[in-house]
Amino acid sequence: MSLEFAWIWLFAALPLPLLAILLPRAPEASQATLRVPFFTAVNNPTLLPTKQRSNLRLFLAIAAWLLLVTAAARPQFIGEPIHLPISGRDLMLAIDLSGSMESDDMMINNHRMNRLRAVKEVAGEFIERRTGDRLGLILFGRQAYLQAPLTFDRKTVRQLLDESAIGLAGKETAIGDAIGLAVKRLREQSQKNRVLILLTDGSNTAGTVDPMKASDLAAQEGVRIHTIGIGADEQLVRSFFGSRRVMNTDLDEKTLKAIAKKTGGQYFRGRDLASLESIYQLLDELEPVAEEEQLYRPIDELYLWPLAAALLLSMLIALMSIRRV
């Protein structure tokens, strides 16, 4: 908290009354051009104010001028900083929890991990970086569920993602239902920057909403969808006769690309952990976060107080002049 002056340069006007003393006076007229009926009374030394009263009037005049200049300089009381809600994006994450997310074709430090664990590693860091955005989380398998509504609480969203498990929403993949649920939640918000990041490793095999119809609705509502197809091109399949590599043909890249294109988003292919990390870094560039912090300091204008005091002193000086007359 502090006291400041918005126009402090106006204090340069304080010496202006001295000009009235320094400037030469006009010569007195030889004859009176205006007759005052009470001139004799005014000129009577017995009725003139005393020296003390003159000094008082001078002091009041100086005080009134100081107060007037102070009011003109606009004194302000600046309050403590107040943190404002940060205006960023409404960003929904839709994560596939179908049975195929258990495939362990992701590598980190020469160790295999399943696809969901890789997503948790990378998406969790992405969530932490989204300062200023309201984040929501949708988990989908056979059905789509809203796990976390839009919130600024990034810590809770990440915790709910970490606690998710494969098969929690069913073993199949309802991409259209996930998009429809995200659009429904995002359309309730007035925020213009509405984004859905949809991550899946398969194709639409369940649900009641067709993915392309859902993307049409998203485009109408101004929801931008970035799609991520996850999974290696080949995966290791273990059987009674040993392990063999097979092509990953479950991923419907054509549909994911069409969804992204129709809504103004982009499609990404995450074949391993490194590519997933680069995808989320690129998403940070495509959907930049808001300013990290916005502060507001309340301002109370105080010029009314010195202005009122100057007016009262001026009225008092005027009353004293009337009494003198």
With respect to CATH, is domain 90-286 assigned 3.40.50.880?
Answer: no
| pLDDT on residue 42 | 41
Q: How many angstroms separate the CA atoms of 143 and 94, rounded?
A: 12
Q: How many angstroms separate the CA atoms of 9 and 14, rounded?
A: 10
Range with lowest mean pLDDT among 36-45, 97-106, 269-278, 304-313 = 36-45
Q: For 89-108, write each residue's pLDDT tens digit.
A: 788 999 999 888 888 777 66
Residue 121 has pLDDT above 70, yes or no: yes
Report for 54-63, 179-188, 190-199: range of highest mean pLDDT: 179-188
Contact (CB, 8 A) for 164 and 102: no
CA dihedral sign of residues 140, 145, 149, 150: positive
Q: How many angstroms separate the CA atoms of 187 and 272, rounded?
A: 33
CA torsion 30→34→40→42, rounded to 10°?
-100
- The ranges assigned to domains in the chain are 37-80+297-325, 90-286
| pLDDT on residue 252 | 85
Q: Output the CA–CA distances (angstroms, integers) from residue 157 to 132, 221, 280, in the order listed.
A: 14, 24, 16
Residue 30 has pLDDT above 70, yes or no: no
Question: Any residues with CB less than 8 A from the CB of 309 and at least 6 apart, and which?
Answer: 67
Q: For 264-292, write each residue's pLDDT tens digit.
A: 998 988 877 778 888 888 888 777 765 55
More confident call, 180 vs 323: 180
CA angle 84, 88, 91 (to 5 degrees): 130
CA angle 136, 295, 85 (to 5 degrees): 20
| pLDDT on residue 51 | 58
